[in-house]
Amino acid sequence: MSRGGPILVYIYITVGRLFTMGDNEMVMANLLSVIMLMHAIVALSSNVRGLSKNYYMKSCPNAEQIVKNSVSTALQADPTLAAGLIRMLFHDCFIEGCDASILLDSTNDNTAEKDSPGNLSLRGYEIIDDTKQEIENTCPGVVSCADILAMAARDAVFWAGGPFYQIPKGRFDGKRSKIEDTKNLLPPSFNASQLIQAFGQRGFSPKDVVALSGAHTLGVARCSSFKARLITLDSSVDSSFANTLSKTCSAGDNAEQPLDATRNDFDNAYFNALQMKSGVLFSDQALFNSPVTRNLVNGYALNQTKFFFDFQKAMRKMSKLNVKNSSQGEVRKHCRCLN
């Protein structure tokens, strides 16, 4: 029987029973049936590809707390690393799925994803290393690096002031990490249609695209990623903000520009910036320029709670992209190398 089969049978049996009851009994039975059905649906959805919210409840019950404490300690020392952890998860999941392939080091006979030009600016590897070591000391060989990264990114969002959300665990670590696979990374030159198409191929809606892009409320962009907008005199950039970007780039390609006015706070200031034609990256400002996504940008700029709600839903979906099972992956002893 398919996964949905038992639930459908339960519905049919329940409906049949309801017709044999009195009015009061029917109301109570209907209420209980709805509650039980919702529990069944939640349980079903949380076990996609073997993932479960309580995956480590028995094997490593302190895993989530260890991750939370490690992330909190690191971000107290350097708040800018919150953006690094979230970006690292994106760059991991969009290549081979959420399998920690981004964490593997290059070897003599293989150049790994992390050494791709698009990944050289990623930060936060040491947080994952330290967390993994502490977990291995407590529960050796149990918790995957892929799960640690997914939990660390979630905790970074919350630490910076964003929403907290539960994610299912049970990912296995991938065994492949090749630089040529990073061709699938999304360049900052994409327009809204290209972003929607790229995300759509992975099951995301336009609303997911805009909500996930809101992660750019944290962090900075290097001049090399937006200087083309200054050379071609991009009309979608506010003239005063263009002067700000030009001043940043006068210090060279590696000079950094905050992506919004509150670079270390997870809020909706990013969307307010887009409304003012002050998006740093072309791909960011494109979301306001496009009639397909403009209303979503306006909605999130007006209602931060709505942004937070849609963001956490999209992040849960992101964290389940092409996860590996036990036959496809492993639980690494060290996140930087295969067992």
Q: Which residues are catalytic?
A: 91
Q: Quote the CA–CA distance of 294 and 292 in Å, as a whole number.
A: 6
Note the helical H segments in the chain: 5-18, 23-45, 63-77, 81-96, 125-138, 145-159, 192-200, 206-213, 228-231, 239-249, 269-275, 282-289, 294-302, 304-318
Contact between 40 and 32 under an 8 Å Cβ cutoff? The reply is no
Write out the two tokens for 311.
Answer: 């963001």
> What's the start-to-end Cα distance of the chain, in Å?
37
C-alpha dist (Å) from residue 90 to 49, 137, 184: 19, 28, 12
Question: Which distant-in-sequence residues (6+ apart) come within 8 Å of 254 by Cβ?
Answer: 222, 223, 224
